[in-house]
Structure 1
């Protein structure tokens, strides 16, 4: 924080209090602006003053509510998790996992969301608070989709003690790997292959929890 900028007030963790009315509109505008900067320029160029200017709100308002760039990113990720589409229920494990994989693929190839996630993931490798916020984002999304695996277990498609969260992570993992490590297009075919591989492994018992003997 440079000289002359207002000191942030201590208050609730950003995102833990749901604002209404004008406060909600300000929050939405600021989060939109923050996401735009991340997508366009990356984490290193995210500045609270610039975000305030883009959002057309007072700098003092932004510093008072969020205080730091990492707090703003944490709130942005929480909002994104809450605004993400709910899981799709198709009646089969493969259908559900394919819907999940295609949603991840569309998000990561979106002109705005793709660069935004790359920027946040890069920042999470060196900033602990951003990493914590990113973990919360994925915990929320995995928890949203995990019931489809438990439903599959109820139908007898996978072993009863299958770790639902690990199956959902297995769907997304190859898509993020391709996004971050290659210039090969992340297309729907890649999403479908990821879903098929995760479904096959789950049916084979690869994600069954191994309980320790006492």
Structure 2
């Protein structure tokens, strides 16, 4: 079953309202078909989110840290404002994260994203665009923070301008030397 159908059910009703029966109905199959593949809705959600977010994210290499980070930040905005991105946010902000499988998935997804994007910062350090002591993970968290704050807390619009402002903040912090490895 495509991850999109599972994610649609999750996005529309939220984690608490998700049922295997609802997913089966949306998919046009009997619930036994779902149970053959997943023992419960927790497994279904874990699989849907993992499947969707396990795809490779393009890692820009424009030759300049500012344009690389802009591409990353804009990609984050696009990803998190999709149906799947909203489903991920809804799930990781719900009681679902108390479930060990979902908590592990959340941690793995974020760790994977930071690991994949670290070469952008490492290349910038090698080119002398960023201080040598800049921690790639800290810079990437600083980049994502303003975007996530708007998505989660304020509900303000999130767009390319938000992404570009986040890049400016992250680069200013790195150049100020406040993002060393901890």
Contact kept? 1:81, 1:141, Cα under 8 Å: no
Query: 5+ residue gaps in structure 2?
Result: none
Which residue of 1 is the match for residue 155 of structure 2? 183
Tell me by how many angstroms 1:58 deviates.
Answer: 4.1
Cα deviation for residue 181 of structure 1 reads 1.1
Question: 1:52 and 1:62 mapped to 2: Cα distance?
Answer: 6
Q: Which runs of 5+ in 1 are unaligned?
A: 1-25
TM-score (norm 2): 0.88
Q: Which residue of 2 aligns with 1:115?
A: 86
1-structure distance, mates of 2:88, 2:5: 15
Which of 9, 14, 22 does residue 42 from structure 1 map onto? Answer: 14
Whether the aligned pair in 1 keeps the contact of 2:138 and 2:179 (CA below 8 Å) is yes
State the alpha-carbon separation in 2 of the partners of residues 93 and 144 from structure 1. Answer: 15
1: distance between equivalents of 2:16 and 2:165? 35
Report the counterpart of residue 22 of structure 1 in structure 2: none
Over 6 Å off, 4+ runs: none
Larger radius of gyration: 1
What is the deviation of 1:143? 1.3
Cα distance in 2, alignment partners of residues 90 and 72 from structure 1: 38
Which residue in the other structure is 1:161 paired with? 133
Of the three residues 111, 114, 122, the one matched with 1:150 is 122
More helix by share: 2
Contact preservation (8 Å) 2:14, 2:87: yes
TM-score, structure 1 as length reference: 0.76
